[in-house]
Amino acid sequence: MAWDSTRPVPWNRLIREWLIYAAIMSAVFLIFFRGDSTVGAIAGVLISGPMYLGFGAVMAKFGYQRTRMKDIRGAGKGKPKADTEPSATSNTEQSRAKAAPTSRTAGGGNRPKSSSRKRR
């Protein structure tokens, strides 16, 4: 997509995501680097904020929208059902006849004989 200066930038979302990242990484650095100098690590996390926001703003102007967790969870539940107007594809699927059995689907008389039959 091309650059479009009229596209909105989701500043609240970008700031919230970076704050969550900064809190988690700061906690990780404080836990794992206790003896070392954590000031540099925390400073690095704080410097990453403007870089993340700038990169996110540029990507938003190009039209990139990252999929939200809410959208991913909703997709797993299935498509919303429209009771008022059924789609054209559902009508054709319902009226389609069942395919004829073939030897590959074990419906063409090629079934194995059961072992319960005894020869006399």
Q: Where are the domains of the chain?
A: 11-64
Q: For 56-97, how does the pLDDT look when each residue is reduced to its tens digit (9 = 90+)?
A: 999 999 998 888 888 888 887 766 555 555 555 556 566 788
Q: What is the Cα gyration radius of the chain?
A: 29
Cβ atoms within 10 Å, residue 103: 10
Give percent of the chain above pLDDT 70: 72
Which of 49, 17, 45 has its CA nearest to residue 29? 45
What are the tokens at 28?
């990780």
How much is the pTM?
0.56
